[in-house]
Every structure is written in C-alpha cells, then in structure tokens.
C-alpha cells in the first residue's frame, strides 16, 4: 500500500452530486470550505493476482456453491488518528478526508468498523468525478459500529467525514477495515455488473412477470463479505409487523453487519435498458438463524430503517411462506444472476423432493428444471422460490442450470426442513422468528406495509370492434391514493396515463403504482366479436337460370347487410340468392360494427341436354384419354360452333365445324369433367364429357 497526498480543487468538490443510492442524501461538507484547494492523503493498493482469482471463480460459478465473487478484499486499519487529512472549515467545524485507490479496479467498496457518528456529524463516500455519492451516513445506518458501502465506480473512493462545530470535542470514530478491489463487472455505467447475465435471463418487467409484482418487490441483491453477490428476499412473520427479515442461503453467509441490501434494481421494461437503472440500498444486519443441512440463513436488517422497518419509499413487500412440504404444482424464482439486474424464472411443472447437493438429510431440497427458456446463474444463490400461490417454499442452494444448460436441474433448500428441525433452537430454525406468537400456521400470506396506498380503482374498456383490428382500449383510474407521479404499466413500460389503446382481444394486467410507490394489479378483459366469415351451399344451374346460393354468416355482430354482384349487371341485397345462371357471384357482408368480409361463390352450369332446339350428334369415346369425336346426324349437317368449358366456366377449347364430323383434342388439359357445347344460330346441345388419361 502506497501513501501519497491527493490535491483536489474546491471547484471539483463544489459540483452537483448525483442522488444518493445509500444513506440520507445531501452533499459533502467540503462545499462549505473557502479554501482554493485541499490536500489530503491518498492510499494506493496493489493489483491482486487476477488470474488466480478468476480460476477460483470458475469452480464456484459452475455449481453456485458460494456468493458470486466480484472483488478482492484488502484488509486495513485506517482511522481518524493514523491516516487521512484534517481540514478546518470556516463554520468552525472540520472535515477528515482519505482517498483510497485500487490499481486497475473497476469498482471500489468499503467497510467501516468501530464507527461512532455523533448527532450532527456526517460520513460520505464518493468518486473523484463527483458523479456518484453515498451518504450522508448517520449513526442509525450502522450496526454494532459497522457499515458497508455500495460499489463506487472506478478505481478510487474518497472518504469524507464531517465534524460539526458543536462536536469538536466529541469527534466520534471510524476505521476503514476493508477496501475491496472490484475486478468483475460488465458495465461502464457506475458499479453494477449490469448486463453480465446470460441472454436467456428474463427481465422482471416482461409480461410473464407482471402477475408476480409483489414477489419482485420483495427480492433484493446482497453484497456479502464485501466481495460477493447473492440474492435474498424479505419474508413475513405471523405478527404481520414488517420486521425486516431477509431469507437467503447459508452458503452466502459472512458477517452480516456490513452486508448491503440493494432494492429495486431492475429494468422498467422487458428489454434491457441502455444504461443501468437506479436503486436504493440499506446496510447492516444481525444474524437470526442459519443451518447447513437445509442451507438457509435468516438475517434482520438493522441499518437505515424508519420506524423499525424498510422505508416506505423503498416499496418493498413481505411474502408469505408455506412450511407444509406439499410439492408445489409450479414455481417462480426472482433473482440477480451474476450480479445483474433483477430477473425472473419459471418452472411450469410440479416440483419433486431431492437430495442433490449432498445434504445429510434426505429430501431436504426441491428439485426443478426451468421452463420458458429461463434459468439461474451464480449470484442467484439464496434467491426465493415461490409456489403457485406466491409463497416462499425454499431458497436456492445450487445446481447446474445456465443459459448453456437449460435442462440441468437446480436445488432449493426447503422451508419445511428449516422450520423446526429435530433438536433445533432459535439459532438454527425459522419457526422461532417467523412464528413469534406460536400461531401454528403451515401457510402464511404476504404483508404489504405501505400506508396510504390507493384504496379503490375503476376502469373502462372499449371492446375490439372487428376481429383482428387491434382497436380495443382500456382506461384505469384510482382514488384513495396519491395520484401525483402515478404510473401505469400494461407490460410495455410505465407511463403517466392510465389509457392504453391498440389492444387486441384478451386478458391484460395493468400494474398501477401511485405517487407513494404503492402498487396494485388491475386485471381487465378486452372482449370483441369472433372473426366475421361466410359459408354457404351452392346449387348449380341444371336448367336455364335455376342456380342458387344459400349464404351462412359466422361471427361478427348482427344485424348484417349484404351486397351481391355477379355476371352481367346482376346485383342483390338479400342473404340468399336464386334464379342464377352459371358464373361467379361475389358477396360483401357488413356487420353492425362496420366490419366486412367478401366471398366469391361459383355456380356451375350443368344444363342437361337441350336449350332451344336440339342439335343431334354422336360423341365418342366418352370418357376419353384426350381425343373426342363429334359426328353429326345427316339431317343436322352444316356450320356449328364448338366450345368446351371446365366446371368453373372457363373456356378451354373452341372450334368451328362445317361438315359431318370434328375431332376435339384435349390431351394437354387436366383430367376432369368438362362441358361440350355444339351450337348454331337456331339450336344448341350441351353434353358432359370426361377426360381421363
């Protein structure tokens, strides 16, 4: 570790900082200084052996047997007395500053020990570019003197501790115990491993995830041991009192006093955003119970609470649980794979009991194989498994599932095996904490602690007028909540308006989040007619003008109107038409909504033997393989027109005959039935001929 002085101009520190993701917000007190420049100590840490670290990571990543490690910890003992630089401020107070640089790091995060922050004093951590700030931290953000920070982007984190004028004789204390060199991340945006998960992972805002809005609100990403990512979930207890319990995996365990709990880090849309979404964090927890044979760990968040629980602004939810050991008929997992934004995975089949992770207890795990091309990855460890009722039944222990191995199973430690194991007590069971009043529940529903949420909602639906036109619409509104800043999401991303148009028929879920971050799901159905189509029976013409079409209309909305057209000047407005000569007839049907469909019907002319006077002739062979001979009776010799048509009325052969015979060659035509007409000015005869080659 190298020790130098860092010169930072006041102009840099006086800039506008971004909104604090962790702490109470605000700006460092260096803005109160009138100094032109501030010199303060700069400690540098050497780059670790990254090749060796990544070789170790390959082993852990394959089976999810530990937190997804992103960093290497440098252990230090840097405090207000042995490091940093003190600077007096014009208001009579003072600041202590220390810059910490990890050579080649992508991110830097810290843990503090022996922390005492008297009222009026403040602690901040930020990067030199002044575009990322953590704090202000007060005493209530710490637990047993410990505090962990979120990941600061880049290779340098600056610590600034402000002492108020009235506390110059009561300065407090703090020690930087760990400086973490972050070496794994996939994003140029701030500190996150944003976008690093496999491309088969589904964002929670996709339509499949909308019914699980509450379970999504409950899931958090953990920074464990200052250098690893896991997933956990808030969880309810039988008092429904919003005690901030978090359930995760025992193999994610480290001292929870400096854990980070990251809330609401997720895409607002189904697609991955172009830059990392915002988030909020709490730090510090106390261990309540944990156990190896079912791989569970239950902690209680201690830092940054409001009225003993997670602040309302964090919009969290406390899911219920099922300890009955009844196999779920389907399951959902919400998780942070590879330290990425929140994802969701689905198993649409019944779960089975198993012992796939080497537990000493048979059937202590739920075994599943993911569906819908979803999966988990390292970093998903500890993620909650929700049954078909949205209740927690386990936490991710391990398995081989990945985007490249979707058929490999995952294993979840069962809540039922963690509830009251034989010989257990409060340190290694869930019941003591999640059933504190001994209610004896085997199942418990979730609890939403947010007050002043919207109480009622209404919606109006515009049906789809014509099938397939996608002209349905819905408008959702609510009363009883804070409408300022409310958003509505039907699966295409949040919007300020509750009106959605261009919808096809079907069922939709609209997620409404009011101005107090209170969510509710509104399920609506867009109705509409079935597709407008027609059918009918055709009666062919067998004698002059005796064809007909009997029309049948399917779907649409009655009453209907009809517009027929046909050969010559034919037209009609009735449903059925009759008295037809051979030919094609077209009908356009219009329903009550203005929807239309157009259909063609062909009436074939199969007039039997005679029209006008009979022309007498012999025809052979019939059927024929191509050549037909026409031989006139002696009395009918003369000039005749010969015409052959198919059954659709198309002319396929014409000729003139002057004499007593004629040969017709249809060898190039398709097999089938044809109509032969022999006629002159006074008479004609039509006969059916069959071509069969």
187 falls within a domain = no
List, in sequence order, every beta strand (DSSP E) within 145-283. Answer: 147-148, 152-153, 156-163, 173-182, 202-203, 219-224, 228-234, 245-249, 260-263, 280-283
Mark whether 381 is an active-site residue.
yes
Per-residue burial over 274-284, b if 16 or more Cβ lie within 10 Å, else e, is eebbebbbbbb
pLDDT at 402: 87
Give the range of the structural domain holding residue 309, as residue numbers without chain letter. 202-444
Q: Do residues 290 and 324 share a domain?
A: yes
| Structural domains in the chain (count) | 5
Mean pLDDT of 177-190: 71
Q: Say what percent of the chain tops pLDDT 90.
A: 61
pLDDT in tens, 152-169: 999 999 999 999 999 999
Are 627 and 693 a contacting pair, CB within 8 Å? no
pLDDT in tens, 460-504: 999 999 999 999 999 998 877 777 788 899 988 889 999 999 999
402 falls within a domain = yes
Mark whether 527 is an active-site residue.
no
Where does a domain end: 578, 603, 628? 603
pLDDT at 185: 64
Q: What CATH number corresponds to the domain at position 239?
A: 2.40.10.10
Q: Do residues 225 and 253 share a domain?
A: yes
Q: Do residues 235 and 169 share a domain?
A: no
Q: Do residues 431 and 286 share a domain?
A: yes
pLDDT at 90: 86
Tell me which residue of 522, 524, 529, 488 sits closest to 506, measured CA to CA.
524
Q: Do residues 300 and 422 share a domain?
A: yes
Q: Do residues 259 and 353 share a domain?
A: yes
pLDDT at 416: 98
pLDDT at 630: 92
194 falls within a domain = no
224 falls within a domain = yes
CA distance 201 to 406: 11
Q: Do residues 105 and 141 share a domain?
A: yes
Are 102 and 181 a contacting pair, CB within 8 Å? yes
Given the residues 42, 74, 181, 251, select the one marked as catalytic.
Answer: 251
Q: Do residues 118 and 209 share a domain?
A: no
Q: How confident is the model at residue 357 (pLDDT cuts 50, 70, 90)?
A: confident
Q: What CATH number corresponds to the domain at position 545?
A: 2.60.40
Q: Do residues 118 and 218 share a domain?
A: no
Q: Do residues 419 and 486 share a domain?
A: no
Enter the tokens of residue 657. Answer: 């005959």
pLDDT at 454: 59
Mark whether 338 is an active-site residue.
no
562 falls within a domain = yes
Greater confidence, 433 or 509?
A: 433
Given the residues 359, 381, 605, 624, select the one marked as catalytic.
Answer: 381
pLDDT in tens, 259-290: 999 999 999 899 888 888 888 999 999 999 99
Mean pLDDT of the chain: 87
CA distance 396 to 250: 10
Mean pLDDT of 554-582: 93
Q: Do residues 576 and 615 share a domain?
A: no
pLDDT over 80 (residue 8)? no
For residue 278, give every residue at least 6 positions away whose Cβ sits within 8 Å of its Cβ, in sequence order, or none: 19, 21, 264, 265
Given the residues 61, 295, 347, 410, select the one marked as catalytic.
Answer: 295
């Amino acid at each position: 570790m190298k020790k130098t002085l860092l010169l930072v101009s006041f102009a840099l520190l006086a800039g506008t900082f971004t909104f604090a993701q962790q702490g109470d917000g605000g700006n460092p007190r260096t803005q109160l200084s009138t100094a032109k420049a501030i010199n303060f100590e700069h400690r540098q840490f050497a780059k670790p052996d990254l090749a060796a670290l990544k070789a170790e990571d390959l082993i852990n990543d394959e089976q999810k047997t530990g937190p997804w490690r992103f960093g290497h910890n440098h252990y230090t003992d840097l405090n207000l007395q042995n490091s940093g630089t003190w600077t007096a401020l014009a208001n009579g107070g003072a600041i202590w500053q220390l810059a910490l640089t990890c050579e080649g790091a992508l991110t830097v995060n810290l843990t503090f020990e022996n922390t005492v922050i008297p009222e009026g004093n403040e602690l901040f951590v930020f990067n030199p570019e002044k575009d990322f700030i953590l704090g202000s931290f007060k005493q209530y953000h710490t637990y047993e003197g410990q505090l962990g920070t979120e990941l600061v982007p880049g290779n340098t984190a600056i610590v600034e501790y402000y002492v108020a004028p009235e506390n110059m004789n009561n300065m407090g204390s703090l020690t930087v115990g760990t400086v973490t060199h972050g070496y794994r991340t996939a994003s140029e945006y701030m500190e996150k491993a944003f976008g690093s998960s496999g491309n088969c992972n589904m964002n929670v805002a996709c339509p499949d995830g909308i019914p699980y809005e509450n379970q999504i609100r409950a899931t958090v990403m953990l920074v464990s041991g200052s250098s690893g990512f896991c997933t956990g979930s808030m969880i309810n207890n039988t008092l429904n009192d919003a005690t901030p319990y978090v359930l995760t995996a025992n193999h994610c365990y480290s001292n929870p006093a400096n854990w980070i709990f990251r809330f609401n880090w997720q895409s607002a849309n189904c697609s991955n955003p172009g830059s990392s979404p915002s988030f909020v964090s709490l730090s510090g927890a106390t261990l309540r119970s944990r156990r190896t044979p079912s791989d569970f760990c239950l902690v209680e968040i201690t830092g940054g609470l409001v009225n003993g629980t997670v602040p309302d602004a964090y919009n969290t939810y406390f899911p219920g649980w099922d300890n009955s050991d009844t196999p779920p008929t389907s399951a959902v997992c919400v998780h942070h794979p590879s330290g990425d934004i929140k994802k969701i995975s689905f198993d649409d089949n019944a779960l089975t009991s198993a012992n796939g992770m080497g537990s000493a207890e048979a059937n202590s795990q739920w075994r599943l194989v993911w569906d819908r091309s979803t999966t988990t990855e390292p970093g998903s460890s500890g993620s909650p498994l929700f049954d078909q009722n949205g209740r927690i039944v386990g936490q991710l222990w391990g398995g081989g599932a990945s985007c490249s191995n979707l058929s490999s199973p995952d294993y979840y430690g069962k809540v039922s095996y963690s509830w009251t194991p034989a010989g257990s007590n409060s340190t290694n069971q869930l019941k003591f904490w999640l059933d504190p009043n001994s209610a004896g529940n085997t199942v418990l529903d979730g609890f939403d602690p947010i007050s002043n949420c919207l109480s009622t909602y209404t919606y109006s639906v515009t049906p789809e007028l014509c099938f397939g036109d996608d002209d349905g619409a819905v408008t959702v509104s609510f009363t009883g909540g804070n409408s300022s800043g409310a958003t509505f999401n039907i699966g295409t991303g949040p919007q300020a308006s509750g009106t959605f148009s261009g919808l096809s028929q079907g069922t939709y879920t609209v997620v409404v989040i009011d101005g107090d971050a209170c969510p509710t799901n509104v399920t609506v159905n867009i109705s509409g007619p079935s597709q407008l189509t027609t059918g009918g029976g055709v009666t062919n013409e067998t004698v002059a003008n005796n064809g007909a079409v009997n029309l049948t209309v399917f779907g649409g909305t009655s009453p209907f109107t009809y517009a027929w057209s046909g050969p010559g000047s034919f037209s009609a407005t009735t449903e059925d038409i009759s008295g037809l000569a051979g030919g094609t007839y077209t009908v356009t049907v219009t329903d009550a909504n203005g929807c239309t469909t157009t259909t063609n019907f062909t009436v074939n002319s199969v007039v039997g033997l005679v029209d006008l006077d009979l022309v007498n002739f012999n025809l052979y062979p019939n059927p024929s393989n191509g050549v037909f001979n026409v031989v006139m009776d002696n009395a009918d010799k003369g000039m005749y027109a010969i015409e052959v048509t198919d059954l659709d009325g198309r002319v396929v052969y014409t000729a003139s005959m002057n004499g007593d015979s004629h040969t017709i060659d249809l060898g190039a035509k398709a097999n089938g039935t044809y109509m032969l007409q022999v006629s002159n000015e006074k008479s004609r005869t039509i006969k059916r001929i069959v071509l069969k080659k």
